[in-house]
Amino acid sequence: MKNKRVTSIALETLSKEKGLLIGLILSAVAVVITGLIPPMLLRQFIDNNLSKGTTVGLSMLTLLYVLVLFGIGLADFLKGVVLTTLGQKITYRMRSATMAKRLLMDHLYFTKTMEGDTVSRIINDTEAVDVLFTGGIVSMIIDLFKIIGIVLSIFIISSKLGLVTLGLVPVIMIITSQFQRGMLKAQRRSRALIGMISQRIAETLRNMLVIKANGHERSMMDRFKNTLKQHYFANESINGYDSLFPVVIQITKAGSIAILILSITSNTAWIGITIGSLAAVIELLSNLFDPIENVGSELQSIQQAIAAINRIDEYLAQKEEAPRNQNLDVKEILSIRPAVLEFKDVSFSYEDNQAVLKDIDLTIQGGQKVTFIGRTGVGKSTLLKLVLGLLPADHGSITLNGIDVSTIAHSAQRQLYGSVDQNFPLIKGTLKQQITLNDPAISDEMVISALSKVGLSKLCTQVSQGLDALIPQELSLSEGQKQLVAIARAIATDPPILILDEISSGLDSVSDARIKDTIAKVSQDKIVLSVTHRLSSISDDVTVVILQEGIVKNSGLAKDL
């Protein structure tokens, strides 16, 4: 997939939502124009009716006034609805695009990046795009037009007062933006501290047993209280700004109106202005404050959103996996028997120039069981990930019946491989879902059979919900049981290749023997690649491959080594 950028995704959404876009433009124009009418009506009322003491046309004026106020509310409502809908559509597309990217990304990115970082980009940063395109840019354009409209209206009433207002705009802007800057700083600090508090809670919950076992309750509590206290002070400062801000705005407003009135009274040439015009100008001037305040905060939102957008763009530009062959016929690959898995001169490194595996040459045939052994960190799990096509070889190739494993589509993999990872993650869901991974082709009978092969048939009868018991709410599993469930997941589809990474590390000797027996029974003509540190449990007919410093040091049948 061509790397998309945030702006192109947002513009794509806007171009697909032409109706909403037109609605937005119309409602924005209506918001700007309707907002300018009431002061003009007020001017009419004072100059034509109040000053002259006549009621001619008053009912019409009143009706118009009510209608205009209704129009202002309606235009504002419509603008809000259209903006929110557009914003939601953009967020939806952004989240879909970032998640789709995650599925296409090179596996190496995730081995180097913290999970929380990716989550934050998909959840928080995508929301910032909504802020930029709707709340930020659109609202700012509307507010700028409101400011221009108000200043123009004052110019129309009196060009001299228009000039005074024009001089006041930057002063009001400076005062509000100074205040908003301080407020934003306090808000940022508060948000950062909230993040820290959630992190501390998650960390404490995760490590509760370690904390208690080592008597660290007090120091944990002190650390937590300290962060809470800092958050309290940050919020106090926000509250201070919150309560002072309206006061400052009122004072600036009063000062501006005073300057306007003084500029009229101090200059006799200006005295000709009508009372109605003066009232309209004062009303317009008061209306100037809201959009000026908004522009300040919108500019800040835009700045923050741009930082978030840069983070998403950086994420969207990450390297993707080489394209896989979606048309590969799995049945055809499987029809060649015995299956041949061939490593040709395979080298791999996580970091540049630090080879983990070097020049691996192996040929494994269907029915052959191969166990990789070697010191911790030698590269056993890495080698299995290369076979699964999760990591790309830097050099050389791994082929299954002549097909490069890195080209096999992920959707086809479960028909070929059953794998148990060294860290076997359970998924959110029921006992059945742990085995099927929501694949409808795996029936309840297949699930029960797989569970019984690993000695877990009792699990289904232990709880009333049986296979539908939610894990961990209704059925909790021990570490060893989780390992057995992972093995059941691997063997459920009866795949021709089993890849088992230290599957017996959490099992007692009885369960271990049972699993060995089960694997032997279900894998008569299969290729079984495994990793173990329990050398004593390796059967004589198993081929042992000894890895040392990234190369195959020795290999042969266990009984011959």
Distance CA 360, CA 549 (A): 12
Residue 299 CB, shortest distance to Mg ion, in Å, is: 51
Handedness of CA 397, 489, 423, 528 (dihedral sign): negative
Residue 379 interface partner, choices Mg ion, ligand ATP, none, CB cut-off 5-8 Å depending on type: ligand ATP
- Put residue 418 in one of left, alpha, beta given phi > 0 → left and psi -120 to 50 → alpha: beta
In the complex with ligand ATP, the residue whose CB is nearer, 124 or 422, is 422
Which listed range, 85-93, 142-150, 204-212, 380-388, lies at the site for Mg ion (CB under 5 A)?
A: 380-388
Q: Which residues of 474-507 are buried (b: 16+ CB within 10 A; e: fewer)?
A: ebebeeebbbbbbbbbbbbbebbbbbbbbbbebb
Residue 310 interface partner, choices Mg ion, ligand ATP, none, CB cut-off 5-8 Å depending on type: none
Which listed range, 24-32, 128-136, 224-232, 369-377, lies at the site for ligand ATP (CB under 6 A)?
A: 369-377
Residues 43-82 that bind Mg ion (CB under 5 A): none
Per-residue binding string, ligand ATP, 396-425, x by CB under 6 A, is --------------------------x---
Residues 110-149 that bind ligand ATP (CB under 6 A): 111
In the complex with ligand ATP, the residue whose CB is nearer, 423 or 464, is 423
SS3 string, 506-553, reads CCCHHHHHHHHHHHHHHCCCCEEEEECCCHHHCCCCCEEEEEECCEEE
Question: With binding defined as CB under 6 A, does residue 378 bind ligand ATP?
Answer: yes
Distance CA 281, CA 163 (A): 12
The residue count for binding ligand ATP (CB under 6 A) is 12
Question: With binding defined as CB under 5 A, does residue 263 bind Mg ion?
Answer: no
Q: Which residue in the block uniquely carries the two structure tokens 């791999």? A: 348
10 Å CB burial of residue 444 (0-12, 13-18, 19+) is middle
- Residue of 529, 522, 535 whose CA lies nearest to 363: 529
Residues 406-425 that bind Mg ion (CB under 5 A): 422
3-state helix, strand, coil in the chain (%, to 5): 65, 10, 20
In the complex with ligand ATP, the residue whose CB is nearer, 298 or 501, is 501
Question: With binding defined as CB under 6 A, does residue 379 bind ligand ATP?
Answer: yes
Do 118 and 80 contact (CB within 8 A), yes or no? no
Among 350, 472, 479, 548, binds ligand ATP (CB under 6 A): 350
In the complex with Mg ion, the residue whose CB is nearer, 40 or 383, is 383
Question: With binding defined as CB under 6 A, does residue 376 bind ligand ATP?
Answer: yes
Phi, psi of 539 (to 5 degrees): -75, 160
In the complex with Mg ion, the residue whose CB is nearer, 41 or 386, is 386
Question: With binding defined as CB under 6 A, does residue 377 bind ligand ATP?
Answer: yes
* Residue 300 identity: Q
Which listed range, 142-150, 175-183, 379-387, 399-407, lies at the site for ligand ATP (CB under 6 A)?
A: 379-387
Distance CA 30, CA 239 (A): 35
Do 283 and 290 contact (CB within 8 A), yes or no? no
Residue 422 CB, shortest distance to ligand ATP, in Å, is: 6
Residue 531 CB, shortest distance to ligand ATP, in Å, is: 6
Three-state secondary structure call for residue 466: helix
Question: With binding defined as CB under 5 A, does residue 381 bind Mg ion?
Answer: yes
Which listed range, 297-305, 370-378, 485-493, 507-515, lies at the site for ligand ATP (CB under 6 A)?
A: 370-378
Distance CA 539, CA 559 (A): 8
Residue 440 interface partner, choices ligand ATP, Mg ion, none, CB cut-off 5-8 Å depending on type: none
Among 113, 207, 230, 381, binds ligand ATP (CB under 6 A): 381
Residue 524 interface partner, choices ligand ATP, Mg ion, none, CB cut-off 5-8 Å depending on type: none
Question: With binding defined as CB under 6 A, does residue 382 bind ligand ATP?
Answer: yes
> Which spans of this chain sit near ligand ATP (rule: CB under 6 A)?
111, 350, 356, 374, 376-382, 422
> Which spans of this chain sit near Mg ion (rule: CB under 5 A)?
381, 422
